[in-house]
Amino acid sequence: MGCLTGAAGAAPLPPASIAVGTRRISGGDIDSYASLTGDYNPIHIDAHFAAQTRFGHPIAHGTLVLAPIWEALDALLGGRALEGARAAAKFLRPVKVNSEVRIEGHLAESSSREVSYEFTVRNEDGELQVNVLVVLPWGIT
């Protein structure tokens, strides 16, 4: 994450990119998330069921795939976390259980009051799986 420095007295400039990193969505993650949410949809946890769907394989809960993005933003934003933020996610391709994803965020737009980042989640072949646009309040003290 490359945080830029703003002019003296001004709010810090938003980082140009947010490298969330890679993460393997493990079967253990799926089990924990299913237990936490109560979401035992067999498309996530039952290989036999999932094999009969168009995905052919168990897939991760969509909101679990997004979680590393919120973790990175919580760390970036500190105490105020995501207060006042909004986000729109599109799940374009399924994330298979036990696959690795690479998540990156890039500054898309900025103004005196807010900044927007586009996050992408890609599989090991570089295919785009999830796209997330996040708009954050910025520069308001």
Partner 1 sequence: MMLTFDRLQAGRALGDATVRVDADCLSKWDSMFPGSIAAAGDHLPSGLVVALMMRGYVAILGERPQGNVHVEQEFFWETKVPKESVLVVTLSCLRKEVQGGRRWVWFDNQVGNAAGVRHVRGIMKLVWAA
| Residues 101/129, Cβ–Cβ less than 8 Å | yes
Q: Minimum distance between the CB of residue 123 and partner 1, rounded to whole angstroms?
A: 17
Residue 24 touches partner 1, criterion: CB under 8 A: no
Which long-range contacts link 9-13 to residues 24+ away (Cβ below 8 Å)? 10/139, 11/138, 11/139, 11/140, 11/141
Query: In this chain, which of 10, 27, 90, 109 binds partner 1, going by CB under 8 A?
Result: 90
Q: Minimum distance between the CB of residue 95 and partner 1, rounded to whole angstroms?
A: 11
Residue in the block written with tokens 């259980």: 97
Residue 67 touches partner 1, criterion: CB under 8 A: yes
The number of beta carbons lying within 10 Å of the beta carbon of residue 5 is 8
Residue 112-131 contact track with partner 1, rule CB under 8 A, x = bound: --------------------
DSSP class per residue in 32-91: HHHHHH----HHHH-HHHHHTSSS-S-B--HHHHHHHHHHHHHHHHGGGTTTT-EEEEEE
Residue 7 touches partner 1, criterion: CB under 8 A: no
Residue 29 touches partner 1, criterion: CB under 8 A: yes
- Distance between CA atoms of 59 and 3, rounded to whole angstroms? 34
Query: In this chain, which of 85, 98, 102, 120 binds partner 1, going by CB under 8 A?
Result: 85
Residue 81 touches partner 1, criterion: CB under 8 A: yes
Give the nearer residue to partner 1 in terms of CB position, either 68 or 105.
68
Residue 22 touches partner 1, criterion: CB under 8 A: no
Query: In this chain, which of 4, 11, 51, 75 binds partner 1, going by CB under 8 A?
Result: 75
